[in-house]
Amino acid sequence: MTRWTQTSAIWGTFVWLGLFAASLPGGDLEAITRLLLLAILVLAPLCLSLVAPSDLFEQHYLPPYRATERVQPFAAMLALVSSLLRPGILAALLAAVWLAFTALVAWFGLHRFLSHRFTRVEEVCIDAGLIYLPVGSVWLVLSRLGANPLGFSDTIVLLTAVHFHYTGFIAPVVAGMVGRQLADVRPGASSMFRVAAIGLIAGTPLVAIGITFSPLVEVAAVTMLVAGLLLLSFLTAFVIAPAIRSRAVRALLIVSPAASVVAMLAAGAYGVGQFTGAPTPTIPQMVAIHGWVNALGFALCGLIAWSIIRPKPIENLPARGIP
């Protein structure tokens, strides 16, 4: 069942690498578009592969999951075509197919959540990522339409789409894998993981709300999100990685959290600077430091490692819910 999504990720990698010979929107938008297409073509199918229903007790998730995995490659290709067009109605309609796909992903996530609710915090992380994904797709459609809601620039609209694909979708799925593995390697670390999960799940939407309505909320949300990801990085590098036998996988599980630390510290500096007026990195600098380090280091290396480990849901251990 996961072979379909894994094959999609492999072919998506070749397509994405080929994009460096293609003409994309210039300036800041070119690098940001490449980041978003990496998430759409490569990282999204890897995430779907990781959350595939197991053979034990998740088979009732199978129908909504199969719908998402079958649609993903076609929706991703149309999103790619959309990114090669000038903003307008046609580009937005093609991107809307990706939005429809992410709505299926959210349906799958909601189905999962209603089945177990708050009984397992690591599964709630996965559910949150699946449910947050369409938010990023809405902003992608707005970007391809050329719309500027609330007076946001083209760059900010596209960056919001990127934020919800990476921090809103990929990071919670990675966190879910960390939680599953911790239950097997170090159950006593569940309290630390719970704190990290709350910061990640709550911080992601609050950042977007803060950017829209309140600098104070933005700073608080960025602090919460950064703290959650830093704690998640600590658990990955110092608790999980040493217990992994494969040197290659262990190296990936060290590179991934290290990249997350670099990316999140840059995000924290930017958020605080926006609130206090202190000097902050420019948007191109943030794309280079926060964006690419986060995408290639944290997301790609982390998802490759977890695709090899493939931790399964825990059904027999005591529940660890979010209070």
Q: In this model, does residue 52 exceed pLDDT 60?
A: yes
Separation CA 169–CA 179 (nearest Å):
16
Going by C-beta distance under 8 Å and a sequence separation of 6 or more, which residues neighbour residue 119? 319, 321
Q: Which helix (H) or strand (E) holds 226?
A: helix 215-235
Q: Which of 182, 314, 162, 189 is nearest to 253 (CA)?
A: 182
Please tell me which of 33-37, 114-118, 147-151, 183-187 the model is most confident about, judged by mean pLDDT. 33-37
260-312 pLDDT per residue, tens:
998 877 776 766 666 666 667 777 878 888 889 999 999 999 999 999 999 98
Separation CA 11–CA 288 (nearest Å):
25
> Can you tell me whether residue 320 is helix, strand or coil?
strand
Distances (CA, A) of 309 to 178, 244, 304: 11, 9, 9
Q: In this model, does residue 223 exceed pLDDT 70?
A: yes
For residues 131 and 106, is the Cβ–Cβ distance under 8 A? yes
Q: Give residue 313's pLDDT band: very low, low, confident or very high (50, 70, 90).
A: confident
Task: Taking the CA atoms of 75, 176, 143 and 28 in sequence, report the sign of the dihedral they define.
Answer: negative
Q: In this model, does residue 112 exceed pLDDT 90?
A: no
Look over the chain and give the mean of its residue pLDDT values, rounded to a whole number: 87
Q: In this model, does residue 258 exceed pLDDT 60?
A: yes
For residue 62 the two structure tokens come to 């199978």
Separation CA 18–CA 86 (nearest Å):
20
**Measured between alpha carbons, how far apart are the two ends of the chain, in Å?**
34
For residue 14 the two structure tokens come to 């070749």
Sketch the domain layout of the chain as residue ranges: 3-309
Distances (CA, A) of 36 to 159, 187, 218, 271, 319: 9, 35, 22, 21, 35
Residues above pLDDT 90, as percent of the chain = 57
The answer to whether the predicted template modeling score (pTM) of the entire model surpasses 0.85 is yes
The torsion angles phi and psi of 31, rounded to 5 degrees, stand at -65, -40
Amino acid making up residue 36: L
Burial class of 20 by CB neighbour count within 10 A (0 to 12, 13 to 18, 19+): exposed
DSSP 278: -
What is the pLDDT, as a whole number, of residue 290? 85
Separation CA 170–CA 200 (nearest Å):
11
> Mean pLDDT over residues 191-202, rounded?
92
Separation CA 173–CA 227 (nearest Å):
17
**Which residue has better confidence, 184 or 271?**
184
Separation CA 66–CA 61 (nearest Å):
9
